[in-house]
Amino acid sequence: MEEAIERPIKQNINLGWIKGIGVTLLLAAAAKYLSGFPLLSILGQLVIALVLGMAWRAVFGVKEALIPGVSFSSKKLLRAGIILLGMRLNIADIYSAGWSVLAISIIHVVFALFVVYWLARWLGAEKKLSLLTACGTGICGAAAIAAISPQLKASDDETAISAAVIAVLGTLFTLTYTLIYSLLNLSPAEYGIFSGSTLHEVAHAVAAAAAGGGQAVDNAVLAKLTRVALLVPAAIVIGLIMQKGEPGTGRQKVSLSIVPWFIFGFLAMSGLNTLGVVPEAAAKTMVEISYLLIAMAMAGLGLNVNVKTFRTLGLKPFIAGLIGSILLSVLGYMLVKLLIG
């Protein structure tokens, strides 16, 4: 009897999961179509997918049954897309980038963590929410928030609000970067590093860098993944600091979930591309699939932005993140001109 009742429930859950992924696929396909129009081509498929996701949620909402599928697209498919995107990059480019990219990434992470956290606290935001917003701004967006929130023992609301803040900020800055690209006086290579070292999500960096072409995208992914790699030491340090701030708590083990494993997948695909193992036509197809997956992830990020929740509790961290992101962009531009140009 119980099995007969549980079966349709599981079927409904699976159907909702499939529909959630289907919505992101639909939005990604629509974004691809719209990006073919002259006035929208400057934005590109990824940014349009993100905007469509936000518009969908604002107009139609997102049913609870669809959330697992939407979350799967925004998290799992994003990583799969980034792994396949490795087919664009020759592994020798990592070496040729030198220590300057790593230095820029370290400076940006440290700067954003301190500045955004201090601004949020100064504005009166809660401590955990402030720190999560700082981590999302400085390291790698929602991935950093999801990885560090368990160490902070943050509530679901704090995690969701900080992720929403980063999604909105990432959207604004992705659109801004795309529109002002021609005014920045940066080469495609410099613009890619600038985008990857200052934007919030991996998908945001890729979307913005698309305005500069293939070389810009490659460098954006390289710079962004350098920041993502800093998630591990940052999470460990933050965890240790939080433990010291809570006397009487036992020693906690660092979870392996903080390791950005998809970096190794990206590098593996880059290695295969460097060695010429994969035929050029197949590599091109894999890159096209990667863009579709990342577009679905962007749509998922847009669908996750809850405007109502954001308005109630997210204003202070949003202002802090906005100011911090502007300062980070200015700093990033100066460092790229100084160390890369």
pLDDT in tens, 115-168: 999 999 999 998 889 999 999 899 878 777 877 877 777 776 787 788 878 878
Q: Three-state SS across 203-234?
A: HHHHHHHHHHCHHHHHHHHHHHHHHHHCHHHH
Q: Which domain holds residue 313?
A: 2-340
pLDDT of residue 203: 78
pLDDT in tens, 252-289: 554 454 455 776 787 788 888 888 888 888 888 998 89
**What average pLDDT is seen over the chain?**
82
Distances from the Cα of 32 to the Cα of 3, 20, 288, 304, angstroms: 43, 19, 11, 20
DSSP H or E stretch at residue 80:
helix 78-85
Token representation of residue 128: 């955990």
pLDDT in tens, 288-335: 898 899 889 888 878 877 666 667 778 899 999 999 999 999 999 999
The pLDDT confidence band at residue 9, using thresholds 50, 70 and 90, is very low
Q: How many helices (H) and strands (E) does the chain have?
A: 17, 0
CA angle 29, 31, 36 (to 5 degrees): 105
pLDDT in tens, 163-194: 878 878 988 899 899 999 989 999 999 999 99
pLDDT of residue 27: 95
Q: CA 149 to CA 138: how far, in whole Å?
A: 15
Q: Are 224 and 200 in contact (CB under 8 A)?
A: no
Q: Is the overall model pTM greater than 0.75, yes or no? A: no
Number of domain units in the chain:
1
pLDDT of residue 23: 93
